[in-house]
Amino acid sequence: METAIACQDLKKTYKNGVKALDGVSFSVRPGEIFGLLGPNGAGKSTTVRILATLTAPDGGKASVAGCDALVNPAGVRLRIGFVAQASGVDKWGTGTENLTLQAHLMRVPKAEIPGRVSRLLEWVNLSDAAGRIVKTYSGGMKRRLDLAMGLVNEPAVLFLDEPTTGLDPETRAALWRDLKRLQKERNLTVLLTTHYLEEADHLCDRLAIVDHGKVVVEGTPAELKARISGDTVVLDVGAEAKRAADLLKPIAGILELIPDGACVIARVEQGATAMPTLITTLERAGISVRSSTLSRPSLDDVYLHHTGRRFQGEGEAGDAEKTAGKARP
């Protein structure tokens, strides 16, 4: 396959009027970890649900593992694994029982099930806990069992929807290592959604930033950051952000100015030399700078550049996409 996943102009509006997708297009190469990065409600989960044949789009095309997801959904399901945001394990079953049941549901040949279940439990480091009921597992153990269940049919493509939400940093880092190991050992294609900038930067070979149901930019994390030239200076000026931005516009060397809440975000050619000039200009105009930071371009700056607002704080609350997703197509 030249492409493991391809979607073109996907559109979706739920019955309650929420437009989840407004023309999403991207492609994923075989064997790569590809991320959909965006705040909750951006359209990431809806995209994954369409590709996994759990939701029908209103328009557009999609193919997964060589199958047309709209024409041949049964073929897609045989070739994919899917790990949803909410754990799908039976908390009253053991680890072995959960995996065995999943193997039967995924039509794994009966003679192969015991060996495959044993190998997967060992691979996700749950062999010692295989006979315990899942209710006694930690959050990280449950998530590793979810991952094993998504792999039980040996899929060509694995979908992970917000795989590390709610995990502590140590457990999240361990899951990242597992996914990198999975990619290396099995050449598996992984499509994951995330709203963690660090996760996208560390884990993804390529990613697409999704905002209001559209892909606004796509590339490797390094490429996307390299396109944002200069340094980023953030000045906390309280309620004076808009006036501060207007005052700073004439200064030479400023590439971009964006008022953002109580801050002015300036992208400048040379941050170390520009920062004193920016602060002095504002203070002479009677605007007090409460704090200032200087940094090299990050994925947060990429998001800011393409959407006009910071990624951080876009938030867990007000997730229109999840609410809308309760409506069936």
Tens of pLDDT, residues 284-306: 999 999 999 998 888 888 888 88
User: Residue 150 has which token pair?
Assistant: 């998504």
pLDDT score of 224:
92
- The predicted-structure confidence for 189-241, as pLDDT tens digits, reads as follows 999 999 888 999 999 999 999 998 999 999 999 999 888 888 899 999 999 99
- The predicted-structure confidence for 52-71, as pLDDT tens digits, reads as follows 999 999 999 999 999 999 99
pLDDT score of 298:
86
**Rounded Cα–Cα distance for residues 33 and 285 (Å):** 49
Q: How far is CA 66 from the centre of its chain?
A: 23
CA distance readout (Å), 47 to 43, 168, 287: 6, 26, 45
**Rounded Cα–Cα distance for residues 68 and 209 (Å):** 24
- pLDDT at 314 > cutoff 50: no
Residue pair 34/191 in contact by the 8 Å Cβ criterion: yes
> Which of the four pLDDT bands, split at 50, 70 and 90, describes residue 317?
very low
**Rounded Cα–Cα distance for residues 177 and 33 (Å):** 13
- The predicted-structure confidence for 74-94, as pLDDT tens digits, reads as follows 999 999 999 988 888 999 999
pLDDT score of 1:
59
Residue pair 194/36 in contact by the 8 Å Cβ criterion: yes
Give residue 134's identity as a one-letter amino acid code. Answer: V
- pLDDT at 321 > cutoff 60: no
Q: Report the percentage of the chain scoring pLDDT > 70.
A: 94
Superfamily of domain 5-224 in the CATH hierarchy: P-loop containing nucleotide triphosphate hydrolases (3.40.50.300)
**Rounded Cα–Cα distance for residues 267 and 8 (Å):** 33
Query: Which DSSP symbol is given to 218?
Result: E
pLDDT score of 318:
35
From 3.40.640.10, 1.10.10.10, 2.40.50.140, 3.30.70.980, which CATH number describes the 229-296 domain?
3.30.70.980
**Rounded Cα–Cα distance for residues 164 and 274 (Å):** 39
- pLDDT at 159 > cutoff 50: yes
Q: Report the percentage of the chain scoring pLDDT > 90.
A: 66
> Which of the four pLDDT bands, split at 50, 70 and 90, describes residue 2?
confident
Portions of the chain given CATH number 3.40.50.300: 5-224
Phi-psi region of 107 (alpha: psi -120 to 50; beta: other; left: phi over 0): left
Portions of the chain given CATH number 3.30.70.980: 229-296
pLDDT score of 326:
47
Does 310 or 117 have the greater pLDDT score? 117
Q: Where are the beta strands (DSSP E) in the chain?
A: 5-13, 19-28, 33-37, 59-64, 67-68, 80-83, 157-161, 189-194, 206-211, 214-219, 231-236, 254-260, 263-268, 291-295
Residue pair 93/133 in contact by the 8 Å Cβ criterion: yes
pTM for this model (two decimals): 0.80
Does 38 or 6 have the greater pLDDT score? 6
> Which of the four pLDDT bands, split at 50, 70 and 90, describes residue 186?
confident
Sheet holding 5-13, edge to edge: 19-28, 5-13, 59-64, 67-68
CA distance readout (Å), 247 to 173, 197, 238, 250, 264: 43, 31, 15, 7, 11
Phi-psi region of 130 (alpha: psi -120 to 50; beta: other; left: phi over 0): alpha
Task: Centre a 10 Å sphere on the Cβ of residue 78 and count the other Cβ atoms it contains.
Answer: 15
pLDDT score of 171:
84
